[in-house]
């Protein structure tokens, strides 16, 4: 258990540097800005930039201008507005160690448990940066010590200082939080949702910013049972792409999820899919999966010809869509049956055609 905690802590330290680097350019949301033309005194049109209220609000918070922030809130600004990375003003105030702004925002109604695009809450941010007083304040105002980010990490897991670890461990013990259960909560919720969709239909909405589907999430994190149900549902394309052009196979390969890759390959995912950077799943794969992916590619190639022939047969029967529901194993079994059998198929109008074994067809 201690070794697991140590590994998790080391991984968190590495990711912290990436997280902080990403945060540096995230103080305001430039995506909401608008440009409009106005006429100058000479009659020539000049550009005038008008920033969306959310961007102005984020900038005012970052500047520590509480009067401006209060005025914007009175004008209807959303205190939980998030920028392109999902960061709210409260996240930013925690990162900047601006305790006064943190207090002002919390007292004004900011969501202390709002996660960014990677599931980091303000408490994760404060814990990662080692800001004890802000962390204490957030906990006193209902910040969830058992909140889990997209990597399955609690604030405790991303803490890098002994004092912070002692504080968070004390709160976890005080609140009787089951950390193992907390880390598995996302998988449990996803399985419930996927099962409900399988039972009654419906859809699962991709992430509004990243466009990652439930398949992407399950593949990246190795949620095998969730993945199996999602593949049964067929609600998401097995080759669906997020904003970076990554397919679920890219995600599974990159995060070293061998069983995930096998499942996706068995469901005839495109193993040569290229993301926005021109990379295939093999290009971004964990080193330990390279041989596995190459072997899976060979297996797919071995069934691609039977799959195409079966597709042709079903097209003759006016049911080409049936092929979409077959896995690689289904296709191979059906082809073996066709290969070694002579099957009579009754078509519309009682017309019969004879599908001879392929060996005989080739000889003829």
Q: For position 234, what pLDDT does the model report?
A: 83
**3-class DSSP assignment, residue 269:** coil
Q: Which of 129, 76, 121 is CA-nearest to residue 98?
A: 129
Token look-up 């999902």 returns: 86
Cβ-contact 251, 236 below 8 angstroms: no
Query: 3-state DSSP helix/strand/coil percent for the chain, to nearest 5?
Result: 60, 5, 35
Q: For position 337, what pLDDT does the model report?
A: 54
Contacts of 276 (CB under 8 A, 6+ apart): 244, 245
Read off the DSSP letter of residue 205. P
- 2-179 and 185-298, same CATH topology: yes
- CA dist 360 and 340 (Å) reads 10
Give the residue extent of every domain in the chain: 2-179, 185-298, 306-363
Cβ-contact 215, 206 below 8 angstroms: no
The CATH H-level superfamily of 185-298 is Ankyrin repeat-containing domain (1.25.40.20)
Q: How far is CA 46 from CA 16, 37, 52, 320, in A?
A: 43, 6, 19, 57
**What are 292's two structure tokens?**
């596995």
Q: For position 48, what pLDDT does the model report?
A: 43
Q: Which of 130, 128, 72 is CA-nearest to residue 104?
A: 72
Q: For position 314, what pLDDT does the model report?
A: 61
Q: How far is CA 277 from CA 134, 185, 242, 256, 281, in A?
A: 39, 33, 13, 20, 11
pTM over 0.85: no
In tens digits, the chain (364 residues) has pLDDT values of: 445 555 554 555 555 555 445 544 443 334 333 333 333 344 444 444 445 778 899 999 999 999 999 999 999 999 999 998 889 999 999 999 999 999 999 999 999 999 998 889 999 999 999 999 999 999 999 999 999 998 889 999 999 999 999 999 999 999 999 999 999 988 999 999 999 999 987 778 898 878 899 999 999 999 999 999 999 988 778 999 999 999 999 999 999 999 999 999 999 999 999 999 999 999 999 999 999 999 999 998 887 655 555 556 566 666 555 555 555 555 555 555 554 443 444 333 333 333 333 333 343 3
**For the purposes of burial, counting CB atoms within 10 Å of the CB of 350, is it exposed (0-12), middle (13-18) or buried (19 or more)?**
exposed
- CA dist 305 and 297 (Å) reads 14
Helices of type H across 109-161: 122-129, 132-140, 155-158
Cβ-contact 282, 292 below 8 angstroms: no
**What are 172's two structure tokens?**
């976890």
Q: For position 56, what pLDDT does the model report?
A: 92
- CA dist 135 and 152 (Å) reads 20
What topology does CATH give the domain 2-179?
1.25.40
């Amino acid at each position: 258990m201690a070794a697991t905690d140590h590994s998790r802590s080391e991984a968190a330290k590495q990711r912290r540097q990436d997280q902080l680097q990403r945060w540096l350019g995230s103080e305001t949301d430039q995506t909401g800005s608008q440009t409009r033309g106005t006429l100058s005194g000479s009659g020539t049109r000049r550009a005038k930039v008008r920033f969306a209220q959310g961007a102005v609000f984020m900038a005012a918070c970052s500047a520590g201008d509480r009067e401006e922030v209060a005025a914007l809130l009175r004008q209807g600004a959303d205190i939980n507005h998030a920028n392109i990375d999902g960061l709210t003003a409260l996240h930013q105030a925690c990162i900047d160690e601006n305790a006064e702004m943190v207090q002002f925002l919390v007292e004004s109604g900011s969501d202390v448990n709002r996660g960014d695009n990677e599931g980091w809450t303000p408490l994760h941010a404060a814990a990662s940066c080692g800001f004890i007083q802000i962390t204490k304040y957030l906990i006193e105002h209902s910040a969830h010590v058992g909140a889990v980010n997209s990597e399955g990490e609690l604030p405790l897991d991303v803490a890098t200082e002994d004092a912070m670890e002692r504080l968070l461990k004390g709160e976890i013990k005080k609140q009787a939080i089951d950390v193992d259960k907390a880390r598995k909560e996302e998988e449990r919720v996803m399985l419930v949702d996927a099962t409900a969709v399988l039972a009654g239909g419906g859809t699962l909405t991709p992430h509004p910013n990243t466009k990652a589907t439930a398949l992407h999430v399950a593949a990246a994190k190795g949620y095998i049972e969730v993945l199996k149900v999602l593949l049964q549902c067929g609600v998401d394309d097995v080759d669906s792409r997020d904003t970076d052009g990554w397919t679920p196979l890219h995600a599974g390969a990159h995060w070293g999820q061998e069983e995930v890759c096998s499942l996706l390959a068995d469901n005839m995912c495109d193993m040569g899919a290229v993301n926005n950077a021109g990379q295939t799943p093999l290009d971004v794969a964990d080193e330990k999966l390279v041989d596995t992916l190459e072997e899976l590619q060979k297996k797919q190639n071995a069934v691609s010809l039977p799959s195409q022939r079966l597709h042709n047969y079903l097209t003759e029967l006016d049911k080409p869509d049936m092929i979409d529901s077959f896995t690689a194993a289904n296709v191979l079994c059906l082809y073996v049956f066709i290969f070694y059998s002579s099957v009579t198929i009754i078509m519309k109008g009682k017309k019969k055609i004879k599908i001879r074994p392929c060996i005989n067809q080739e000889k003829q």
